[in-house]
Structure 1
Amino acid sequence: MRLAPPVPMPGRLVRTPRLTLVPPGKENLPDLIRLKSDPRVFELMLHGTRSEERTREELEDDIEFWQVRGYGTWCVYLTGTGEFLGIAGLMERPDGRGVAMRFALWPECRGKGYAREAARAGLEFGHRAGLDRIIAVAWEENHASRAVLQDIGMVECDAFPYRGRRMIVFESLRSR
């Protein structure tokens, strides 16, 4: 889907060589509903696929999170075309483990390095914003996500069971 160019948000807009990361706004709701209701993308995410109503609530929370914290989850676009690829960024985990890196892109994006590029940009932004420790959680069998996290410099630090699966916790510590 081709979209209008993202509205610049000083200090919050992130550009990489191929991607533009923009904090979400209400205009992103249709794309987010499609993404978050798709089991190919969100089945293994914390709390699984989302309903339209849940996605709307999460969008409101994401907008507020940015206003309060100055960081959060971005909508990820391919810079050259404006195509919506998914989401990446930082969120406070509801289980109290801390601020976590997350990314969820369309399956068609796999193998192109977009998740790695977006996750690295989000991690760097978070550390520049003052976060000393950023974690990420991936299902043990999700080798692609684990590879992304390792490639951007995150290291395994813990594990826990969730819905009958072993989840691996990664962390990145800000260098001083």
Structure 2
Amino acid sequence: MTVAFHIPEIETDRLRLRLPKASDIDAHIAFRASERSVGVGGPYDEYSSFHHLEGIIGQWQLRGYGRWMVADKATDEPYGVVGIYHPLDWPEAEIGWSLYENGEGKGIALEAATATRDYAYDTLGWTRIVSLIMPDNIRSIRLAERMDCRKTETFTHPEFGELDIWLHARPVAA
């Protein structure tokens, strides 16, 4: 039996937000095993990192939206994962981002997260989208601030503890 479903791709000036593929596995496992993953509850072992990548693909089938692998448009080099995430124990769907070291300091997270926000509002027709951020995840807080998000409330997660909920402003039409 073959199951087919459509996962949209988004292109920005420099990036392609696409389905994860086998050539992304090593970079994803390396990120999740590193100290960079502390802001998303890591570090994690190889098995859970592979399972996480499978879950990224599966959420598209279960929810009709999800996260993408962020890749360089010209070379297809993976830079991380950005998109809409909604596990069972989250209060609502969020824009989440996990950037690999090779994408740091280039505006990649901002470009990909902005494309995701626009997709949520313009394509999905949502009226609200947030990001849940650990209070000590300074990189993510800075990105949320650059996107003109505002912290509106907190949520206590049974595993991750207190998370701040940052509301993404809907872009103003030009």
Q: TM-score range by the shorter chain?
A: 0.7 to 0.9
43, 66, 77: which is aligned to 2:38? 43
Give percent identity, aligned residues only: 25
Name the structure 2 match of 1:141: 136
**1:134-164 CA distance string (max 9 Å, x none):** 2212233333321211222322111256789
Match of 1:133, SS state, is coil
Name the structure 1 match of 2:150: 155
Once the 2 structures are TM-superposed, how far is the Cα of residue 69 of structure 1 from its aligned partner? 2.5
Once the 2 structures are TM-superposed, how far is the Cα of residue 132 of structure 1 from its aligned partner? 2.8
List alignment gaps of at least 5 residues for structure 1.
1-8
Look up the equivalent residue of 2:101 and give its one-letter code.
P
Once the 2 structures are TM-superposed, how far is the Cα of residue 11 of structure 1 from its aligned partner? 6.2
Which TM-score applies when normalising by structure 1?
Answer: 0.79
Mapping of residues 111-126 of structure 1, within 5 Å: 111-126=105-120
- Asked if residue 90 in structure 1 is aligned to residue 72 in structure 2, the reply is no
Contact 1:140 1:165 in 2 (8 A): no
Contact 1:138 1:168 in 2 (8 A): yes
Change (3 A) 1:166 1:121: same
Match of 2:164, SS state, is strand
Contact 2:7 2:60 in 1 (8 A): no
Once the 2 structures are TM-superposed, how far is the Cα of residue 27 of structure 1 from its aligned partner? 4.4
14, 18, 37: which is aligned to 2:14? 18
Contact 1:21 1:75 in 2 (8 A): yes
Q: 9-18 or 164-173: which moved more?
A: 164-173
List alignment gaps of at least 5 residues for structure 2.
none
Match of 1:136, SS state, is strand
97, 106, 112: which is aligned to 1:103? 97
Change (3 A) 1:16 1:155: same
Contact 2:17 2:68 in 1 (8 A): yes
Match of 1:97, SS state, is coil
**1:18-72 CA distance string (max 9 Å, x none):** 11110224443222212222222x1120x32222211222222221211232321
Q: 58-67 or 165-174: which moved more?
A: 165-174
Once the 2 structures are TM-superposed, how far is the Cα of residue 166 of structure 1 from its aligned partner? 5.5
61, 72, 75: which is aligned to 2:69? 75
Provide the C-alpha distance between the structure 1 equivalents of 2:56 and 2:136, rounded to a whole number of angstroms: 28
